[in-house]
A and B are shown apart, each in its own frame.
Chain A
Amino acid sequence: MKNKTRNVIIYALLSIWAIIVLFPFYWMILTSIKSYSSYNSEYVPKFIALSPTVENYVTAFTAVPLAKYFFNTIVFTVVTTGMMLVVVVLSAFAFARLDFKGKDLLFSLFLSLMMIPNELVIITNFVTITNLNMRNTFSGLILPSVTSVFYIYLLKENFEQIPENIYKAAKVDGTSDFRYLFRVMIPISKPTIVTITILKVIECWNSYVWPRLITDDQNYFLVSNGIQEIRENGFGRENVPAMMAAVVVISVPLVILFLVFRDKIMEGVARGGTKG
């Protein structure tokens, strides 16, 4: 009996937090399918949409360049993640398998860079990019976000777990270093590489500060800046349902990504995420 009451309390508390988490999602979807007039006529908002409409989604894509923001974000995410993977894999490979002078010293230097907060270096980067006339270009957006010391560290640890004997055997067979990297090391470390990729994609999709500093031309806005622009100038300010439609459109890709790769993402964040 006592156990039963305890269970009820536990489930009740867990449900309260679940509702707090889910409610904003429910509210954005709900508001996005209400028509402009019905939304504004409800002083006490209704919890269901009596006559759902897709007109807001049409407005979201026609009144503001939402598709353009979307396209920009996809380009930014794909190129940044792709370049990051090349840089990270090559460096992790060098640190894990190749011998060269000053390796330990260089690796400690890399590690010490992990302590540098982004806020400290962003000022100079802003000046650098401005002076190079790379404001409002994709290179300006992408280049400073390409390297991540933490991911190099993560992948190096992973590479080092691959037995050295395989490497030696491959050497005897006359396999080149790069062939070995692509045929053996990358396939074996695939789980880690997938984790890194997903974490970087989430980071790119949500990045706001750097794009805001470096772009003021709408043609180069990412979704975060786009939503901010919509909030301040889009839809004549008060068209809340259309705003919510844009919010839904922006949120959906990552939620789908999460539901598909749930375990990978949660495992990856537990290992290497730092948000909060």
Chain B
Amino acid sequence: MKKNLTAWLCLLPAILFLGIFMVYPLFDVLVYSFEEGYNFASQSFWGTGIYNYSYVLHDPFFIQALKNTFIIVIITVPLSTGIALLISLELSQIKVLRDFFQTVYFLPYVTNTLAVGLVFMILFKKTAYSDGLISILIQFFGGPSVDFIDGPYAAKMFVMCFYTIWIVMPFKILILTSALASVNEMYYKAAVVDDTPKWRIFYKITLPMISPMVFYLVITGFIGAFKAYSDEVALFGTDLNAAGMNTIVGYVYDMLYGNSGGYPSYASAAALILFAIVFTITTINLMVSRKTVYYQ
């Protein structure tokens, strides 16, 4: 009996915090999303139903956010995973300077997204004083002058994806280099004895052996990219709707707070739609993996 009491006392803080800030909100967000015409000031609503969902799905800002988020996901997840794989393979083949490169590559992980985003903005932005370093470089090679921050949609999307990849690479390189390091040397030695060509070693040995980790990165990459938000703010400022660069998560927060805020019901509906999308994609990913990933 006394033992029971000690255990529950130890768990009490965790249960309290999780209950108030995770379990209760989980139910509450569902309730909010079905309360129509919820008024934040008087905390009253006039009906229940699916109006919030329908409103969100017909909101042009949400459609824009949906489109932006999908473009970011489709471009950054394959590209960052591919480049990370390439870099890790190269890293695994060198000895000199390897530690140095690994340290450098990890730096973006420990930097403040908002702060470094400002540097990217300066590099890409056109001002009255200067076209911005990147634009000047492009012009040097005969290209047109582009404003990547306030200019055409494609240019903004390019910076966005570039910055996102820059931010997510450290984690991917780290995971893949440790996966590559854990492949048993014996397999490679056997392959060399058999005189197997290099590309064949990669496809038949390396890739299958690290496929669980590649797959782990694809799943977490999808989830992370769908939740993109801070990186966008870092580049384009807090008014993402005006810049046309909002994301789903950004839409949720804008509905909740700020100049366009005060609508927790719309925010809840949008958050649940996001959750449904992420859940569906992750399920598809898991189904694909069962066919393609090699587990030892």
B267 proximity list for chain A (CB < 8 A) = 123
Contact A269 B13 (CB under 8 A): no
Q: Does A62 contact B (CB under 8 A)?
A: no
**Interface residue ranges of A85-113 to B (CB < 8 Å):** 86-88, 90-91, 93-95, 98-101, 103, 106, 110, 113
User: Number of contact residues on A: which range applies?
Assistant: 35 or more
- In whole angstroms, how far apart are the Cα atoms of A93 and B237 in the complex? 44
CB nearest neighbor in B for A269:
B174
Return the contact of A149 from the options B18, B24, B93 (Cβ within 8 A): B18
Distance in Å from the Cβ of B227 to the closest Cβ of chain A? Answer: 6
Q: Does B190 contact A (CB under 8 A)?
A: no
Whether A120 contacts B272 in the complex (CB less than 8 A), given A87-B14, A143-B21, A213-B253, comes out as yes
Return the contact of B224 from the options A20, A93, A275 (Cβ within 8 A): A275
Q: Which of B2-10, B60-68, B151-159, B286-294 interfaces with chain A?
A: B2-10
A41 proximity list for chain B (CB < 8 A) = 129
Contact A21 B166 (CB under 8 A): yes
**Interface residue ranges of B263-281 to A (CB < 8 Å):** 264, 267-268, 271-272, 274-275, 278
- In whole angstroms, how far apart are the Cα atoms of A169 and B94 in the complex? 50
Max count, chain A CB within 10 A of own CB: residue among B83, B103, B115, B116: B115
Return the contact of B22 from the options A103, A116, A127, A266 (Cβ within 8 A): A116
- In whole angstroms, how far apart are the Cα atoms of A257 and B111 in the complex? 11
Return the contact of B167 from the options A125, A128, A259, A276 (Cβ within 8 A): A276
Question: What does the 1/0 interface line of A234-271 toward B look like (CB < 8 Å)?
Answer: 00001010011011001100110111001001100110
Q: Does B54 contact A (CB under 8 A)?
A: no
Max count, chain B CB within 10 A of own CB: residue among A21, A41, A213: A21
Q: Does B180 contact A (CB under 8 A)?
A: no
Distance in Å from the Cβ of B91 to the closest Cβ of chain A? Answer: 7
Contact B25 A121 (CB under 8 A): yes
Contact B107 A258 (CB under 8 A): yes
Contact B118 A120 (CB under 8 A): no
Q: Does B230 contact A (CB under 8 A)?
A: yes
Whether A124 contacts B119 in the complex (CB less than 8 A), given A146-B17, A269-B109, comes out as no
- In whole angstroms, how far apart are the Cα atoms of A238 and B252 in the complex? 30
Q: Does B127 contact A (CB under 8 A)?
A: yes
Whether A269 contacts B4 in the complex (CB less than 8 A), given A123-B252, A206-B112, comes out as no
Return the contact of B114 from the options A91, A227, A240 (Cβ within 8 A): A227
Contact B110 A257 (CB under 8 A): yes
Q: Does A45 contact B (CB under 8 A)?
A: yes
Return the contact of A251 from the options B116, B122, B174, B238 (Cβ within 8 A): B116
Whether A14 contacts B17 in the complex (CB less than 8 A), given A223-B112, A244-B122, comes out as no
Q: Which of A23-31, A49-57, A185-193 interfaces with chain B?
A: A23-31
Return the contact of B275 from the options A10, A120, A259 (Cβ within 8 A): A120
Q: Does B53 contact A (CB under 8 A)?
A: no
A224 proximity list for chain B (CB < 8 A) = 112-115
Q: Does A218 contact B (CB under 8 A)?
A: no
Return the contact of A262 from the options B4, B26, B103 (Cβ within 8 A): B103
- In whole angstroms, how far apart are the Cα atoms of A209 and B166 in the complex? 20
Q: Does A173 contact B (CB under 8 A)?
A: no
CB nearest neighbor in B for A28:
B119
- In whole angstroms, how far apart are the Cα atoms of A246 and B119 in the complex? 11
Q: Does A76 contact B (CB under 8 A)?
A: no
Contact B129 A125 (CB under 8 A): no
Q: Does B52 contact A (CB under 8 A)?
A: no
Contact B115 A251 (CB under 8 A): yes
Contact A45 B278 (CB under 8 A): no
Question: What does the 1/0 interface line of B147-189 toward A look like (CB < 8 Å)?
Answer: 0000000000000000000111111101100100000000000
B14 proximity list for chain A (CB < 8 A) = 87-88, 90-91, 110, 147, 152
A262 proximity list for chain B (CB < 8 A) = 103, 106
Contact B133 A270 (CB under 8 A): no
Contact B252 A121 (CB under 8 A): no
Given contacts A10-B90, A101-B4, 15 further A-B contacts (CB under 8 A): A7-B94, A11-B94, A18-B101, A21-B166, A45-B133, A93-B10, A94-B7, A113-B22, A113-B23, A205-B112, A208-B230, A208-B233, A231-B118, A274-B224, A275-B167
21 residue pairs of the A-B complex, CB under 8 angstroms, read: A14-B87, A14-B91, A21-B104, A22-B104, A43-B131, A91-B10, A93-B10, A117-B275, A117-B278, A121-B22, A123-B25, A128-B21, A147-B14, A227-B115, A231-B121, A246-B115, A251-B116, A255-B107, A270-B175, A274-B224, A275-B167
